[in-house]
Structure 1
Amino acid sequence: MALNTRKPILISGAGLASLLLGQSLLRASIPFLIFERDSSISFRAQGYRLRLSTQGLDAIESVLGPEQWKTFWNACGKTAGRGLAHLNAVTGTEVTQEANGDRPPIVDQEAKGKPLDLGSRDGKIVGIARGELRRLLYSECKPFVHWSHHVTGYEVTSSGVRAVFADGSKSVEGDVLVGGEGVYSKVAKQLSQGKLKVYDTGARGIHGQAPSTAFKGLGEGVWRMVDETKPNGRVFVITNVRPGDMDDPSVQFGWTLGAQPGVVTAPNDDYAITGKPAAEIAKALTADWHPRVRPLFEQMAESEAAFWKITCSTPDGVPEWKNEPRVTVIGDAAHSMTPAGGIGANTAFRDSALLGRLLREAGGYADGVTAAYEKDMRVYASEAVRASYGMAKSQFGVTIDENSPTV
């Protein structure tokens, strides 16, 4: 596909939202360049499996062409059943909502406060591994991704914008810079003059994987396993057990372990550590769990274990900042969310689809495009942040105020 001769759209970060935006621009022959601080697509673990909401799927479908959508859809797992099932991790018994005490029920932002309903298409729970989705989106964007380019700011020129890199060098001049480099976004900090804040909730977790055969004791479904017996706080695990693969040990399913502040602590407080140190902590925390669920941890692929921090933007929603026509932000750079309900990634996909559509309709950069995007984004993203934080308060026992530490 021949791209036009306009200046490129510059995108900071090669995560899911950035790559989906790239796909949108590619379809319209709008030139773009993606700058990523990592050295390659395989540089780091990609974390837990994504639960794709109706709105997230709609956003992805609106960007991908028919053939790409078919490839993506075939790569997704579709889990039937009743939705989210609660399990006492120690006894192995299922827990009804009524037996869950006076803790607020888990709710879904898209269901407007109703109990969480994970079914997103055809009554199925649709999910895909982050790494697999990233590889799919990267396949066509590959020629436009520049690795080992750490964007630390930007410079608006008389006719465009340049990304500034950590070594002091600058990119070619682009029409727009889109910050999509996550919670540590330097673009977001500069653009919002510090108004965009990401708070460290203090809660931590571990991602892991195990052969699908280890999940046979659970059976098909989306499971939330909770241990209330730990002396320093609650521990829980969420996993999606898909049908069809539970007899094939070459297939791995993922799980996400989370805990209240103080329960999970990485060596030297270094949460970039992966592999055995994270695996050992996960195994220790689950050693007394029921035989129905222990295989998930006893048989885990230790090399794939990784720590993660639970962060969240200001619970009041996405703040206002003075619009810069040449610069905007998407995904976690604009609105970091806790993993509760899987809302964060789906909201990021909406960002990419919206901004991509506005740029396509304008044929690239035009006055008012970033302002129109930010106006609409603030509405749905603020609602999502509030819902994500509300669920995290009940699940993780975290609270955020103006005195909470930022990342």
Structure 2
Amino acid sequence: MRVLVAGAGLGGLCLAQGLLKAGVDVRVLEREDGPDSRAQGFRIALNGHGLAALHACLPERLHALLAAVSGPLAGERRVVDQGLRELRRLGGVDAGTATDRHVLRGLLLAGLDGHVAYGSAVTGYTERADGTVEARLGDGGSAVGDLLVGADGVGSAVRRQLLPGARVVSVPGNAVLGRSPLTERSAALVPGYGMVVQGARASMLLGRMEFRRPPRLAAAELAPGVRLPDPGNYLRWVVMPAEPLPDGPRPWETVRAELLARLDGWHPDLLDLVRNADAVNSTPLTVRYAEPVPHWAGSRRVTLLGDAIHAMPPSGGQGANTALRDAALLARTITAVRQGTAELPAAVGQYEQTMLEYGFAAVAESLERLPDVTPAR
């Protein structure tokens, strides 16, 4: 049995690890030219589902490394005004584990040499008469397998063909994601879980990414041969202006100047976060979400996971966790088929029904946490 996975994001790689662990032949088709072709994002919070999925799919030798290159996600949550005067406290939380998306992706790539084909964008597929599926690639090539999994993100080509009526909605307005080095001064802004700044013309969310151990050194000791980036500790922040910034691609210097104009009069420590932001890892963000779809009839040789089916706003902190949960569930499903205890069409259908239920529940919860958003009808 061979499984084709379109996309080498967190969900696709977690699935590949789970399948490889079970002895299933898997090939990941990734449109990027290499693992470091672009910035991979920011801190993510791993909840119980996300951590359980990683532990289920990763080989046991990598579990200690995962713990070492994560960080705490606990403590007090403060709400302050733009001058850093405290407005209220939201109480302490213990929300799980913080990890960096780029570091986690490096960990998920460990041991997948020869199973990931870079520069191989999946543009569509054909279900063949012999019961296999052929993935068409952007370079004119193709790959054949028994199952194609669309893990190719919010712009999924696999979803567009499988579910042409599925809609992804953009939330009005925009936000800016930023990453600034964690210094003694900036660390004092967020002594606990996080901080919310409520200003007259914008709001700001801040959170720390503080690794228990430097990822590269931890990998060298705990899993020699695993190559991890070493981004250093940082403060992740998101600014949501009341008046949207201009649309369209612009240099970070232009975006930063526009953002600072919105934050005129804010505390100097907050303004310095924006001024000192890492230009490579700071960017405007359009918030999008997928509208619910019913369980589809037809193909059981093509399925979806993660943002390719249930994209959601980052406000709930559930996007990556839900994709990892999908991956672990689908890996168990395919493993049962390989072991002869389930038939592929029925097993994939059951996976889809379960995934759609919890996936779109997570979308709804994330939308509820996003202020002034009414889902389109």
Q: What TM-score, normalized by structure 1, do the two folds share?
A: 0.80
2:200 match: 229
Residues 274 and 305, structure 1, Cα contact 8 Å, conserved in 2: no
Are residues 244 and 48 of structure 1, via their aligned partners in 2, closer, same or farther at CA, if it must alter by over 3 Å?
A: closer
Query: Quick one: distance in 1 between partners of 2:199 and 2:59?
Result: 46
User: What per-residue deviation string (whole Å, max 9, x for no partner) do you get for residues 106-135 of structure 1?
Assistant: xxxxxxxxx998524xxxx41111111011
Deviation, structure 1 residue 174: 0.3
Residues 215 and 295, structure 1, Cα contact 8 Å, conserved in 2: no
Indicate yes or no: 2:60 matched with 1:85: no
2:220 match: none
Query: Quick one: distance in 1 between partners of 2:313 and 2:352?
Result: 21
Are residues 294 and 225 of structure 1, via their aligned partners in 2, closer, same or farther at CA, if it must alter by over 3 Å?
A: farther
Are residues 348 and 244 of structure 1, via their aligned partners in 2, closer, same or farther at CA, if it must alter by over 3 Å?
A: closer
Query: 327, 330, 338: which is aligned to 1:355?
Result: 330
Relative to structure 2, which stretch is displaced further, 175-184 or 46-55? 46-55
Query: Quick one: distance in 1 between partners of 2:152 and 2:310?
Result: 12
Query: Quick one: distance in 1 between partners of 2:295 and 2:344?
Result: 21
User: What per-residue deviation string (whole Å, max 9, x for no partner) do you get for residues 294-330 of structure 1?
Assistant: 332232223332222100112xx34332241100000
Residues 134 and 143, structure 2, Cα contact 8 Å, conserved in 1: yes
User: What per-residue deviation string (whole Å, max 9, x for no partner) do you get for residues 184-215 of structure 1?
Assistant: 00111211232x21101123222222221042
Deviation, structure 1 residue 143: 1.9
Query: Quick one: distance in 2 between partners of 1:49 and 1:337?
Result: 16
Residues 201 and 261, structure 1, Cα contact 8 Å, conserved in 2: no
Amino acid at match of 1:257: V
Deviation, structure 1 residue 51: 0.8
Query: Quick one: distance in 2 between partners of 1:311 and 1:293?
Result: 27
Deviation, structure 1 residue 391: 0.9
Query: Quick one: distance in 2 between partners of 1:45 and 1:253?
Result: 15
Amino acid at match of 1:367: P
Query: 206, 216, 237: which is aligned to 1:238?
Result: 206
SS of residue matched to 1:50: strand
Indicate yes or no: 2:356 matched with 1:378: yes
1:63 match: 57
Amino acid at match of 1:265: P
Amino acid at match of 1:161: V
2:320 match: 345
2:87 match: 95
Following superposition of structure 1 onto structure 2, how do residues 119-268 of structure 1 map, counting pairs within 5 Å? Answer: 119-120=94-95, 125-158=96-129, 159-167=131-139, 169-194=140-165, 196-213=166-183, 214-230=185-201, 234-240=202-208, 242=210, 251-259=232-240, 262-266=243-247
Deviation, structure 1 residue 78: 1.2
Amino acid at match of 2:345: D
SS of residue matched to 2:12: helix
Query: Quick one: distance in 2 between partners of 1:360 and 1:295?
Result: 51
Residues 160 and 326, structure 1, Cα contact 8 Å, conserved in 2: yes
Query: Quick one: distance in 2 between partners of 1:358 and 1:29?
Result: 13
User: What per-residue deviation string (whole Å, max 9, x for no partner) do you get for residues 219-246 of structure 1?
Assistant: 422323333311xxx332232264889x
Deviation, structure 1 residue 260: 5.3
Query: Quick one: distance in 2 between partners of 1:51 and 1:40?
Result: 25
Are residues 197 and 355 of structure 1, via their aligned partners in 2, closer, same or farther at CA, if it must alter by over 3 Å?
A: same
1:279 match: 256
Deviation, structure 1 residue 261: 6.9
Residues 79 and 243, structure 1, Cα contact 8 Å, conserved in 2: no
SS of residue matched to 1:221: coil
Residues 70 and 211, structure 2, Cα contact 8 Å, conserved in 1: no
Query: 18, 27, 35: which is aligned to 1:24?
Result: 18
Amino acid at match of 2:276: Q
Relative to structure 2, which stretch is displaced further, 255-264 or 343-352? 255-264
1:110 match: none
Are residues 243 and 36 of structure 1, via their aligned partners in 2, closer, same or farther at CA, if it must alter by over 3 Å?
A: closer
Are residues 219 and 256 of structure 1, via their aligned partners in 2, closer, same or farther at CA, if it must alter by over 3 Å?
A: closer
Residues 331 and 347, structure 1, Cα contact 8 Å, conserved in 2: yes
1:302 match: 279
Tell me the matched-pair count. 355
Amino acid at match of 1:85: R
SS of residue matched to 2:254: helix
Deviation, structure 1 residue 379: 1.6
Residues 136 and 143, structure 2, Cα contact 8 Å, conserved in 1: no
Identity %: 28
Query: Quick one: distance in 2 between partners of 1:244 and 1:69?
Result: 14
